[in-house]
Amino acid sequence: MSDTSVTPQLTRPLLLLMATAIAATAANLYYNQPLLPEIGETFNVNDGAVGLIPSATQLGYAAAILFISPLGDVMNRRNLISYLSVLLTLSLMAVFFAPDIGVLVAAFFAVGLGANITQQLLPIGASLASPATKGATMGTLMTGLTIGILLSRTASGSIAEYFGWRSVFLVAAILAAVFGLLLRAYLPDNKPKVTLSYPALIASMFGLLSKHRLLRESALTGALWFAAFNALWATLAIHVTDAPFDYTVQQAGLFGLVGMSGIVGAKLAGRYVDRFGPTRIITVSLCSVLASFVVLAVWSDSLAGLIIGVILLDLGVFGAQIPNQVRVFAIDANAQSRMNAVYMLAYYIGASLGSAVGVKIMSVAGWHGLALFGMGLAALALAYHLARQHGNGAAT
């Protein structure tokens, strides 16, 4: 890890705590994906109803990005994170005790709201780091986010295999409470720099979207590739627990280890984005996403094909994420929190729609239909990116 102990407030232990908390919090958005078949059996519902679960979680996260993330500009972030920790803990307990599918879906929506902790910790890290270490700091925090997303499926599949799917969310609730207490104890206070009223704060986000073309382009391409990513991960467990694989939930969750290739993609993108520019890195990454769905379509019943497809997908998605955020943060230094909120809102709306539509397509057209859906999203993102890239350097 790079030395980021350049200010009294941002020490290595604090940075490690923040990165670990981000990993543990982000994981809550994805724990349910390999568990969908078991959840469907518990409540005796079809794939369409089960598809509401990952969709509700992502919609909750998107709603929080729109209505909660901007509050970090006008109130003490440490206090805000404490409130969100309480909400996340209680929501996970509601998942654990859920008596029916309706309560479960509502509880997962609330989990998505509480997981906004991640979007509060990222700007805290950026504000505490010195200009010379800002890139290294954000790289460390984003690595935590990547690890949380990728290992969540393996962890949930393994726990569920031995203790049942509900136990996953009891463990998650305990972790949420522990990290909430640690962050409350060790995060420094911050003085808000913005004095806008809440309605004006929210309205200003739409003004930024209207004003900056590059923000619109980054948001749309990010939404498209993340929709494809979530369509795959929301349906992969359904695919591999059926013939010809007939894997267990634990075995399905192990595909999360394959997805660890996303960490490599993120590190490579972070290393080379300054040298080659965001546009080129995003182009290469989107080609990887597109290639992944070609492989998944052609070799759908091959374990090697699935592994190669997942590796290409995660390399591409996480390789594109960092340069896309780099160019978003560079648009306006005085509105970075709201810029990030607009971008991440589009990102997770795409995730929610990708999960829901992906599960529906899987139930109607099978795995090949799902692969074609992902291929179409990736191709659209790449075509739009290439069509607009020449204007991005000059206009925002």
- What's the pLDDT band for 189 if we cut at 50, 70, 90? confident
Average pLDDT over residues 240-246: 83
- What's the pLDDT band for 325 if we cut at 50, 70, 90? confident
More confident residue, 132 or 55: 55
Q: What percent of the chain has pLDDT over 70?
A: 92
pLDDT of 393 over the 80 cut: no
Asked if residue 263 lies in contact with residue 318, where contact means CB atoms within 8 angstroms, the answer is: yes
pLDDT of 7 over the 50 cut: no
More confident residue, 254 or 144: 144
For 326-373, the pLDDT digits (tens) are 788 778 766 777 888 898 888 878 988 998 899 899 989 999 999 999
Q: Over 334-375, what HEC string results?
A: HHHHHHHHHHHHHHHHHHHHHHHHHHHHHHHHHHHHHHHHHH
pLDDT of 396 over the 60 cut: no
Query: Which range is least confidently modeled, 93-102, 168-177, 238-247, 312-321?
Result: 238-247
Residue 5 lies in a domain: no
> What distances in angstroms separate CA 289 from CA 182, 217, 220, 284, one per listed residue?
37, 18, 16, 9
Q: How many independent structural domains does the chain possess?
A: 1
Please tell me the pTM assigned to this model.
Answer: 0.75
pLDDT of 391 over the 70 cut: no
Residues 6+ apart with CB under 8 A from 91: 107, 108, 110, 111, 113, 114
pLDDT at 321: 84
Residue 2 lies in a domain: no
Average pLDDT over residues 148-176: 91
Helices 336-392 and 52-67, packing angle to 10 deg: 100
For 274-293, the pLDDT digits (tens) are 678 788 889 999 999 999 99
Residue 202 lies in a domain: yes
pLDDT at 395: 42
Residue 87 lies in a domain: yes
pLDDT at 135: 60
pLDDT of 392 over the 80 cut: no
b/e for 142-170, b at 16 or more Cβ within 10 A?
bbbbbbbbbbbbbbbbbbbbeeebbebbb
Residue 1 lies in a domain: no
Average pLDDT over residues 317-329: 82
Tell me which residue range forms the domain holding 218: 12-392
| Helix, coil or strand: residue 393 | coil
Residue 246 lies in a domain: yes
Which CATH number fits the domain that encloses residue 61? Answer: 1.20.1250.20
